[in-house]
Structure formats: C-alpha cells, structure tokens
Amino acid sequence: MKRSRRTKIIATLGPASDSPEMISKLFHAGADVFRLNMSHLPRERLPEKIEAIRAVEREAKRPIAILVDLQGPKLRVGAFAEGSAQLVPGASFTFDDNPEPGDVNRVYLPHPEILQAVEPGHSMLVDDGKLRLTVTEVSPGRCTTRVEVGGRISNRKGVSLPHTIVPLPAMTEKDHADLEAGLNAGADWIAVSFVQRPEDVAEVKKVVQGRALVMSKIEKPQALNRLEEILEISDGIMVARGDLGVEMPLEQVPGAQKRLTRGCRRLGKPVVIATQMLESMITAPVPTRAEVSDVATAVYEGADAVMTSAESASGAYPVEAIATMSRIAEQVEKDALYWSIISAQRSEPEHTAADAIAAAAHQMVGSLDLDAIMAWTHSGSTALRLSRARPNATVIALTPKRETARRLAMAWGTHPIVTKDASDVDDMAFRAAKFAVRENFAEIGDRIIIVAGVPFGTPGATNLIRIAFVTREHADRA
C-alpha cells in the first residue's frame, strides 16, 4: 500500500477509535503509527489493543508502528474540605505536607520533592496554568505563595513548575509496570513523559534494552536547557506542545518547536509534532484555517510525523481528522516551495562512509530524477541516514527484521518491507528492482538506486551504492 506523502501520521487511539473496525479505517485514511496513551488505557487491555493493530497490519501487508506513551509522574494537590476554594489575586496561599483537607489559605501537596526543590521567585501553575502563583517563602514542609492569577482550585488538580527541576524519577511504579507490559506485548516505540534531563531517558533505556526505541516527550522547559544531551541519548523526540505551552510563555513555543525539529533533523532522529493540531475537529467535521496552517508548518519544516490526540481518541470525527491531516501533508509536499525549504535546512553529512553514501544517493536522485532509493538495512540505520538527507525520493527499506520495519514506519519518507536478506550482490540488485515494481515505485526501463552494506546482515555497515535498470524480468517476477 503506497502512500502519496512522505510525512508520517500518528493516530492516538481511545474510546472513539479503539475497535478493530475503526483502527482499520484510520489506517486506510492515512495513519502510519498508532499511539496507545497509558494515562487512559488500562494495562490489562494493552495486549488486546496491540493485537487489533497487528491484525490490521496483517490484512494490509504493511508494517505499522505502535507507540506506547507512558503517563509519567503526575503532580497534584490534595483535597479541600469543601471540594474547592476560590483564590483571590494578591492573597497568600500555602502548600504544605499536612494531609488535612485544605481551605482558602492552604492545601496538602503530597510531593515532598516539590517542597524541597522550590525557591522564592519560582512559579507554581495549577490546573493547566489557569491559576498562577509565585513562591515567596520556603520552610521545612511548606512553601508560601502569592496568588498572581486567581480562580477556583479544586481537589486533585495538577501542578506545574516551569522554573523548578523536581528530583523525581522518570518513571513511577505504574510506568515501570506499563513499560514491561508494552514491551512484552510488542511495542515498537516507548514515549517518555515529562523528560527534564538525559538521565530520565537513560533510566528508561536501561529497562528497554533495545527491545523498542525510546522517544523523549519535550513538554517541560527544563528539558530545553539540556537539549543537546537529550537529543543525543534519545531515539526520537516528540514536541508535546500542550504541556510545553502551559509551563513556558505561549509565544516561545513555536521557536522551541523549530529548534527541536532542526536538532532532530541534524542528527537523523525522528521528530513528532503533537498536541492540538486539529483540535476543533474533536467536535467539528472540518478544521480551522489556522489549524491547517499549523499542520502545514510542521510538514514544511520537515517533521517526520504529525500526530492527532483527542481528535482521533475521543472526538466525533476521528477518521475525518486523519484524512484531513493526510491531505494537508500531501498538498504541502506538492508545493514548489516545499523542496526549497527542505533543502535549505539540510545538514552537512558527517565524515563517515555511510553518510557519504547517503549524500551521494541524494545527489543521484536529483541528477537522474529517480523516485526510489532501495535500502537494504538490518538495524534500520541505513534507512534513517537516507531519511535524514530528505531526498526527493521514497526510501524503500528492505529488511529481514520485522521489528526494524515497524520502527521505520515512524521515519520520514520510508516505505519498509520485510523480506529475507540478500544472499549476494546480484540477488540484492534483482530483488530490489522487483520490489520497486511490486510497490509501484518503478516501471520497466526506470533506474533505481540501491544502498546496502557488505557483508550482508552486518548492522551499520553501509558501504555500497549501485544504480540498476528495471527490466521485463523484474516486472514478471514482481
């Protein structure tokens, strides 16, 4: 099944879309990756959901990536004697370690790490930033704040700390259990929530042990302070603009998005733009013009994937949201400006044989006007290097490892195919040409580029590039 765009689409599953029939509809509408959000999905249902996706994969005969998104540590206030309290601007309000019900003057904060980490001048945001308070005094077991933006604060509302690095582990007990369940059920990607530092990612990777790839969700401004280290250790990045926009000024989020996108493109690691992309389609069959521009901007920047959240998880028009996102990406990629923007942001190749070959393949695509680069890959690194160059051709990744093919479904411009490894150079060329015809990327008389590593089956050994002609025999054998 050939997509007519290179940007990938991630669909979040939820009550509106988790039936096998709806998953199939979302895939055929354009979804390449399915996200399972462990903040809402009971762990016991995870194998069932993954199997439903795999059933669609078997029917479509195309690898589908599954992203299991860990909830991460949730910081919340305690309860109030009357269920809530009205905070007035200018008033003093205290967070403390006293579990007694709160009132208009104080509330229990069941997170001693916060009380130990905050300092005078730090901001505390409650209920997705609806209430804003500034810390004025800190003492053992309590911190006093001044209410800057007031409103009603009620039981168990979330707390955000944009200026404070809270020494919490990256994973809660729930996350550890969800992670093992996801790995055992066959997740391809694991998303780590509320990453603040590279150590948070390392903690997850230590558990994963290569059984999946790890994607860091950037939703806290503290992560931007150590961005290079986080990019280096992560396998991919998700720009989670919802929480990021709560904890930093909204006008700074677009710049952070561009910085993250370009950082990932430079390193050849998938980057996902997420949250509120087609928010109005939760209740409406068409998006706003601004939302269309938002999705288009991410595509113009060369993001690997764009993602729906509530639009496909709980909205009234999940299939329409995915189809709309697909049409936007297709149209942008047809725009004459698209390739000039993509090319202007292209990074220089690293001084390695694999990068030199990827750069050469990119140049050949332009010189010979080719539609496909056939990449024999074991670990996926060859295909990712080619994707990093953003060639004006589809990277058809031929791999003997099904898990590699599924992981590559996240990467820009890749079309993964599971097949046995090549036995020799002639077999490599013949079957590459055959698959190019079978997948409708080439016809008799066309030329294709083949990239591989010799000896075959050696991860990371990209050292060969070849041009081959598609013949009648390839078409007959396809």
> What integer pLDDT is reported at residue 408 of this predicted model?
98
The active-site residue, picked from 6, 8, 35, 106, is: 35
322-369 confidence digits (pLDDT tens): 999 999 999 999 999 999 999 988 888 888 888 899 999 999 998 998
CATH number for 8-72+171-338 (one of 3.90.1150.10, 3.20.20.60, 3.40.50.620, 3.40.50.150): it is 3.20.20.60
Is the model's pLDDT at 461 over the cut of 80? no
CATH architecture assigned to 353-477 = 3-Layer(aba) Sandwich (3.40)
157 pLDDT band, cuts 50/70/90, is: very high
Radius of gyration of the CA atoms of the chain, in A? 24
The span from the CA of 100 to the CA of 106, in Å, is 10
| Residue that has been written with the tokens 């999946």 in this structure | 212
Residue 457: pLDDT over 80: no
The whole-number pLDDT of residue 118 equals 97
Residue 34: enclosing H or E segment and its boundaries? strand 33-37
Contact 293, 299 (CB under 8 A): no
pLDDT digits (tens, 9 = 90+) for 64-108: 999 999 999 889 999 999 999 999 999 999 999 999 999 999 999
Length of the chain: 478
239: its two tokens: 């720009």
What is this structure's pTM?
A: 0.93
Of 76, 130, 258, 346, the catalytic one is 76
Write out pLDDT tens, residues 158-172: 999 999 988 888 799
**What residue has token string 């709560």?**
246
User: In sequence order, which residues have a C-beta less than 8 Å from that of residue 367 and are 6 or more positions away?
Assistant: none
pLDDT of amino acid 328:
98
Query: Distance (Å, rounded) from C-alpha 438 to C-alpha 476?
Result: 10
pLDDT of residue 104: 97
Q: Is 431 annotated in the active site?
A: no
The domain limits of the chain are: 8-72+171-338, 84-160, 353-477
Inform me whether the pLDDT recorded for 111 exceeds 80.
yes
- Alpha helices of 239-317 — where are they, by DSSP H? 241-247, 253-267, 289-300, 310-313
d(CA 273, CA 10): 10
Asked whether the bond before 285 is cis by omega within 30 degrees of 0, the reply is: no
> What is the tens place of the pLDDT at every residue in 180-212?
999 999 999 999 999 999 999 999 999 999 999
Average pLDDT over residues 28-38: 98
C-beta pairs of 334-339 under 8 Å, 24+ apart in sequence: 337/300, 338/299, 338/300, 339/392
pLDDT band for position 10 (50/70/90)? very high
Q: Which two tokens stand for residue 421?
A: 């490894």
Q: Is the pLDDT of residue 153 over 90?
A: yes
Asked if pLDDT for residue 1 goes beyond 80, the answer is no
Candidates 349, 331, 340; CA nearest to 388 is 349
Active-site choice (5, 106, 217, 406): 217
Residue tagged 């995870």 (tokens): 46
Distant-in-sequence, close-in-space partners of 135: CB < 8 Å, separation ≥ 6? 118, 119, 120, 121, 122, 123, 124, 143, 144, 145
**62 counts as catalytic:** no
Summarize the confidence of residues 311-321 as an average pLDDT.
Answer: 98
Q: Where does residue 68 rank: exposed (0-12), middle (13-18), buried (19+ CB within 10 A)? A: buried
Give catalytic status of residue 275 as yes or no.
Answer: yes
pLDDT category of residue 303 using cuts at 50, 70 and 90: very high
Q: What is the mean pLDDT of residues 300-324?
A: 97
pLDDT at 351: 82
> For residue 440, how many other CB atoms are within 10 A of its CB?
12
DSSP 80: B
Residue of 145, 275, 382, 404 marked catalytic: 275
Per the prediction, the chain carries an average pLDDT of 95
CATH 2.40.33.10 fits 84-160, yes or no: yes
Active site residue 7: no
Q: Enter the tokens of residue 307.
A: 């993602």
User: Long-range CB contacts (< 8 A, 24+ apart) of 85-90?
Assistant: 85/152, 85/153, 85/154, 86/150, 86/151, 86/152, 86/153, 87/131, 87/133, 87/147, 87/150, 87/151, 87/152, 87/153, 88/147, 88/150, 89/147, 89/148, 89/149, 89/150, 90/146, 90/147
